[in-house]
Every structure is written in structure tokens, then in C-alpha cells.
């Protein structure tokens, strides 16, 4: 097999990503147009490219790339999830970007200045970030993984900065950028040490080398430290414990649609990257004790700090940031359960978390005051009387996130708990259970204030946001949280299929015959010519 053919094949396998990339280029141009209608078309083009990418993925155009570590199906599941949620995030952000400037334009107060509109960049970066997530699960080597992770993260720094015209957004962006750079440095350092220990950048080779080391009496110190540093670097992306501290400030500073985006897309990238790295380190078979213990501690710390932190908050976005931290802790439990049990549970949980979180944010975004989003819990008082649908989606999202049956979040948590108990970590489940109870405290407040409290002076002037798209997105998220439990079997089947064990070298041939493109290196190894 020639190298050129390989590269072409590789490119073809990236059709969905390429579609999203093209979308981001087009969007970046249309957002700057002088014509108002073209500017308004930006988010439609955005959605269109995401839908096209989904179709490309469903039609399996060009197949999917595989790292040889994870099956292409994981990349399919994660990619489809990112695209679907991406459509929701575009809808949530539509209407709030450039809102005040567009108002001023339409009133004729100012004239159009291309330097003052951010809509194009914003949606372009959003698409690029989604594109990055889609690339993560297919990474064949560390370089690819690094680039994919950075493609996910870098746009989000800018998105935070341009999401609102306030100083707080700028401050949040700068904080986010510097801390992100630090975490990336740790990540790269870890990569370097892993390379030093195994002598390869390819995941397949790393896996072989680490398995060999483990069989010889354990992974060497350089490799172990490298793995732990990678993990800590990734903790930043998924807002897990030692690296979670930035989240409240950044989430608070960014506009609510960006906060919703941040609480899902970088997180899913980090979790998928961790999947890859752990698979390479012999997840489920020969994972070093030190890594297992680190995972355990990180998980427990993350969920506890997240839940306890959230209780103290009066700002909805800060509360949601802590809630998102705690959910990372729950999801890390899946890693402790091992690939066979934990991976399907993780995939289902990601879906449930994304939808419930989306419904909650959708409810928050669909109301505003004087063109500004509402942030304080008191602002929500009496919402159920004035805007029952917004209150309903907030309540539904909270109930699902706290794990109240029969909503989707309960089933995801149930499947996760089952997996972890099955893997023999009952104490961990007990800790998670206690954490769930703590979380009830603040989710009840979030769900209760809009419905129970009478509208006080703090809640004056809260009106429905003019754009219907966030409301529509909230409705879709909310209804799926309500109805998807009836299709749980299918979701579970999809997740289990995605999480099948990786075939060993002899079955790779079969994989290729079914039009699934495997990473070139793997193919080369099975065809030594």
C-alpha cells in the first residue's frame, strides 16, 4: 500500500470533520457581511454544516479513522454526540451574539463596522472546536491527539472573550487562557515522558511497549509519571479535581451559551483523550496500581468538591460550573470500572449529562433582563408564573441531573452505579451516593426558586428573550430528557456496540474488509510488505 494512497484514504475518512471545517470558513465570512440578512444566516449555515456532517457520518462516507486503540465506533458515537449537541449549542447562542450592536444598527444609531461584529468569528470558532472533538477519538498517535485537543481548546478561549462585551468576559478569557496553557504544558511534558519511556508516538506501539513493561514487572517510573502528568493535564479539560479551580470564574465570566458549550465540548474531548491514554496503558488488563489509585482519588475529590462548592453559590452559572465539576467526578468512576463495564456507562452518561445540562441552560438562556442574561438565583423567583416553560425546563434539567427517576439522568446514573458495583468498587458508589444527596440540596434550590418563590423586587423586569431559538433548543433538550428513557435499550445497545473490546491484530483484517479504515500504522504492521 503506497503512502499517497494512504494519505488520500485518510483524508476521505475525515469527511465529516472536513464538512465542519468548511462550514467554519464560510461562517467566518458571512458573519462579516454588510447585509443584515446574510449575517443572520450565519447560524443557519452553521447548523447546516453540522447536519451535513451528521449525514456524512451516518452514510459512512469514507469510513471512520481509527486509532487502533479504540474502535471506530467510539469515534462515531462521540462524533455524532458532539455534532448533535453542537446543533443545540448553536441554537442556544443564536440571538445573544451581537445582540446589542444589532439592535443599535436596526435603530440606525450606528453604522455598520466590521470590526465590531463578532458573530462570524464566534460561530466559526464554535465549529472548529466541535471539529477538534470529533478528531480526538480517532487519534493514532500523540501528535494527532495533541493537535486535536488544542483545536478543541484554543477556540474556546476566544469564544469566552468575545461572548460578551464586559470586562468580566475578558478577565475570564485571560484566566482561562493562561491556566489552559499551563495544563497544556503539563500534557506535552507527559507526552514527552511517555515517548521517552516507550520510544514511540503511535498508540499501538505505546500500548505494546507498556504491556511488555507491565509483564516485566511494572511500567517504569518515567512512563508512570508521564501517564499521571497526562492525566492531570487532561483534568483541566474535563474540569476534574486538582485542575478544576478555573471553572467557576470562567463559567461565570462567559456568556451563558458559551458556558453551556464549555461544560460539554471540552469535557467530552478530555474524557475521550483519557480513554485513549488509559487504553494504551493497559486499561482493564494491566493498568498500574498508581494510575488506578490516582483515578480513584481524582474522582472522589472532584465529585465532593463540586457538590460541596455548588451548595454555597447564589449565582446560577457558578452553581452550574460546580455541578459540571461534580458530574466529571461521576464520569471518572466509569474509568475505574474498566473498559468492559465502564465505557458503555460513560457513553450513556455523557448523553444524559449533555441533554439535561442543555435543558437547564436552555431554560436560563430563554429569559433575560434589559438585554442582559440573568445570573442570580433571586432573579429566577416567580419564573413559573411568568414564563412557565423556562421554569419547567430548568426544573426538568435539575431533576435529571440530580438523578431523580424516571428522567434520563437517573438511568444514566443507575447504569454507571451498576457498572461500578459490578467492578467491585462498592465504597466508591457509596461515596457517589452521598454526593448525589448533597447535590439534591442545590438542584432543589435551582428547580424550586422559579416555581415556589414569589417574584420579589429582584426578579423585576425579567422577560422572555426575543430569539425563539434558545427556547426551541431548551424544549428539544427537555423533551428528550423526558422521553429518551423509553428508548434506553437502544441507547444502551448503541453504547455497548461502541464500546466493544478492541480486536487484536488478527481480526483487524476483518475490520478493514468491512470498509472501516484502520490507522495506516496498524495496517502496515499486519502487512509487513
Q: How far is the CB of 422 from other proteins (least distance, A)?
A: 5
Q: How far apart are CA 72 and CA 75, in angstroms?
A: 5
Looking at the Cβ atoms of 266 and 397, the one nearer to other proteins is 397
Q: Provide the grid cell at 268.
A: 467530552
Binds other proteins by CB under 8 A, chosen from 12, 147, 418, 472:
418
Q: Provide the grid cell at 127.
A: 465549529
Looking at the Cβ atoms of 300 and 473, the one nearer to other proteins is 300
Q: How far is the CB of 323 from other proteins (least distance, A)?
A: 16
210: contact with other proteins by CB under 8 A: no
Looking at the Cβ atoms of 142 and 429, the one nearer to other proteins is 429
Site of grid cell 464538512: 19
404: contact with other proteins by CB under 8 A: yes
Q: Provide the grid cell at 110.
A: 450606528
Looking at the Cβ atoms of 182 and 492, the one nearer to other proteins is 492
Q: How far is the CB of 408 from other proteins (least distance, A)?
A: 12
Q: How far apart are CA 528 and CA 455, in angstroms?
A: 73
Of 334, 333, 338, 267, nearest in space to 304 by CA = 333
Binding mask 290-329 for other proteins (x = CB under 8 A): ----------------------------------------
Site of grid cell 464586559: 166
Looking at the Cβ atoms of 33 and 453, the one nearer to other proteins is 453
Q: Helix and strand tally (H, E) in the chain?
A: 25, 3
Q: Provide the grid cell at 503.
A: 480486536
Site of grid cell 511494572: 218
Binds other proteins by CB under 8 A, chosen from 242, 284, 448, 503:
448
Cβ-contact 368, 467 below 8 angstroms = no
Cβ-contact 348, 492 below 8 angstroms = yes
Q: What are phi and psi of 368, to 5 degrees?
A: -155, 170
Binds other proteins by CB under 8 A, chosen from 325, 377, 429, 465:
429
Q: Provide the grid cell at 395.
A: 426544573
430: contact with other proteins by CB under 8 A: yes
Binds other proteins by CB under 8 A, chosen from 196, 199, 371, 405:
405
Binding mask 469-508 for other proteins (x = CB under 8 A): -------------------xx--xx--x------------
Q: How far is the CB of 287 from other proteins (least distance, A)?
A: 21
Beta strands in 354-478 (DSSP E): 367-369, 372-373, 463-464
Q: Provide the grid cell at 318.
A: 457558578
Binding mask 252-281 for other proteins (x = CB under 8 A): ------------------------------
The number of beta carbons lying within 10 Å of the beta carbon of residue 421 is 15
HSE of 21 in the Cβ direction (CA atoms, 13 Å)? 13
Q: How far apart are CA 378 and CA 449, in angstroms?
A: 8
Binds other proteins by CB under 8 A, chosen from 52, 147, 444, 479:
444
Residues in the chain, total: 529
Q: Site residues for other proteins, window 380-399 (CB under 8 A)?
A: 399
Binds other proteins by CB under 8 A, chosen from 10, 422, 500, 512:
422
Cβ-contact 449, 458 below 8 angstroms = no
**How many residues make contact with other proteins (CB under 8 A)?**
31
Q: Which stretch binds other proteins (CB under 8 A): 160-168, 184-192, 230-238, 447-455?
A: 447-455
Q: Which residues neighbour 97 within 8 Å (Cβ) at sequence distance 6 or greater?
A: 118, 119, 122, 123, 163, 257
Looking at the Cβ atoms of 308 and 440, the one nearer to other proteins is 440
182: contact with other proteins by CB under 8 A: no
Q: Which stretch binds other proteins (CB under 8 A): 84-92, 141-149, 416-424, 474-482?
A: 416-424
Q: How far apart are CA 364 and CA 359, in angstroms?
A: 9
Instruction: Return residues touching other proteins (CB under 8 A).
Output: 344, 399, 404-406, 410-411, 414-415, 417-418, 421-422, 426, 429-430, 433-434, 436-437, 440-441, 444, 448, 451-452, 488-489, 492-493, 496
Amino acid at each position: 500500500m503506497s503512502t499517497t494512497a494512504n494519505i488520500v484514504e485518510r483524508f476521505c475518512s475525515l469527511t465529516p470533520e472536513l464538512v465542519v471545517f468548511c462550514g467554519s470558513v464560510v461562517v467566518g465570512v458571512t458573519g462579516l457581511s454588510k447585509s443584515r440578512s446574510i449575517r443572520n444566516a450565519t447560524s443557519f449555515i452553521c447548523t447546516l454544516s453540522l447536519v451535513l456532517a451528521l449525514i456524512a457520518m451516518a452514510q459512512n462516507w469514507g469510513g471512520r479513522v481509527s486509532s487502533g486503540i479504540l474502535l471506530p465506533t467510539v469515534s462515531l458515537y462521540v462524533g455524532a454526540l458532539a455534532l448533535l449537541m453542537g446543533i443545540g449549542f448553536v441554537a442556544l447562542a443564536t440571538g445573544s451574539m451581537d445582540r446589542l450592536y444589532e439592535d443599535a444598527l436596526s435603530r440606525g444609531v450606528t453604522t455598520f463596522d466590521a470590526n465590531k461584529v463578532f458573530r462570524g468569528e464566534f460561530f466559526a470558532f464554535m465549529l472548529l472546536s466541535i471539529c477538534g472533538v470529533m478528531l480526538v477519538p480517532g487519534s493514532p498517535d500523540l501528535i494527532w491527539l495533541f493537535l486535536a485537543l488544542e483545536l478543541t481548546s484554543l477556540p474556546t478561549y476566544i469564544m469566552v472573550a468575545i461572548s460578551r462585551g464586559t470586562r468580566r468576559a475578558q478577565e475570564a478569557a485571560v484566566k482561562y487562557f493562561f491556566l489552559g496553557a499551563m495544563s497544556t504544558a503539563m500534557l506535552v511534558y507527559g507526552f514527552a515522558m511517555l515517548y521517552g519511556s516507550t520510544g514511540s508516538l503511535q498508540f499501538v506501539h505505546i500500548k505494546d511497549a507498556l504491556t511488555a513493561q507491565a509483564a516485566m514487572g511494572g511500567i517504569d517510573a518515567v512512563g508512570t509519571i508521564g501517564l499521571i502528568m497526562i492525566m492531570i493535564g487532561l483534568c483541566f479539560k474535563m474540569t476534574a479535581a486538582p485542575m478544576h479551580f478555573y471553572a467557576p470564574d470562567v463559567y461565570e465570566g462567559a456568556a451563558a451559551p458559551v458556558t453551556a458549550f464549555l461544560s460539554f465540548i471540552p469535557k467530552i474531548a478530555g474524557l475521550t483523550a483519557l480513554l485513549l491514554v488509559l487504553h494504551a496503558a493497559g486499561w482493564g488488563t494491566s493498568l498500574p496500581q498508581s494510575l488506578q489509585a490516582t483515578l480513584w482519588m481524582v474522582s472522589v475529590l472532584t465529585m465532593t468538591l463540586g457538590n460541596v462548592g455548588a451548595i454555597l453559590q447564589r449565582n446560577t452559572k457558578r452553581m452550574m460550573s460546580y455541578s459540571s465539576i461534580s458530574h466529571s467526578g461521576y464520569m471518572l468512576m466509569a474509568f475505574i470500572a474498566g473498559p468492559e463495564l465502564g465505557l458503555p456507562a460513560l457513553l450513556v452518561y455523557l448523553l444524559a449529562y449533555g441533554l439535561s445540562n442543555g435543558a437547564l441552560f436552555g431554560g436560563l438562556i430563554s429569559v433575560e433582563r434589559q438585554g442582559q442574561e440573568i445570573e442570580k438565583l433571586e432573579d429566577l423567583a416567580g419564573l413559573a408564573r411568568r414564563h412557565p416553560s423556562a421554569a419547567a425546563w430548568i426544573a426538568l434539567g435539575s431533576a435529571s441531573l440530580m438523578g431523580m427517576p424516571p428522567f434520563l439522568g437517573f438511568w444514566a446514573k443507575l447504569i454507571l452505579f451498576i457498572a461500578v458495583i459490578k467492578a467491585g468498587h462498592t465504597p466508591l458508589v457509596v461515596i457517589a451516593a452521598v454526593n448525589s444527596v448533597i447535590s439534591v440540596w442545590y438542584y432543589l434550590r435551582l428547580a424550586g426558586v422559579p416555581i415556589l418563590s414569589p417574584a420579589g423586587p429582584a426578579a423585576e423586569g425579567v422577560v422572555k428573550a426575543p430569539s425563539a431559538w434558545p427556547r426551541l433548543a431548551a424544549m428539544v433538550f427537555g423533551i428528550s430528557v423526558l422521553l429518551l428513557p423509553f428508548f434506553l435499550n437502544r441507547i444502551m445497545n448503541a453504547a455497548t456496540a461502541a464500546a466493544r473490546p478492541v480486536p487484536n491484530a488478527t481480526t483487524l483484517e476483518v475490520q478493514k474488509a468491512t470498509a472501516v479504515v484502520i490507522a495506516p500504522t496498524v495496517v502496515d504492521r499486519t502487512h509487513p510488505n
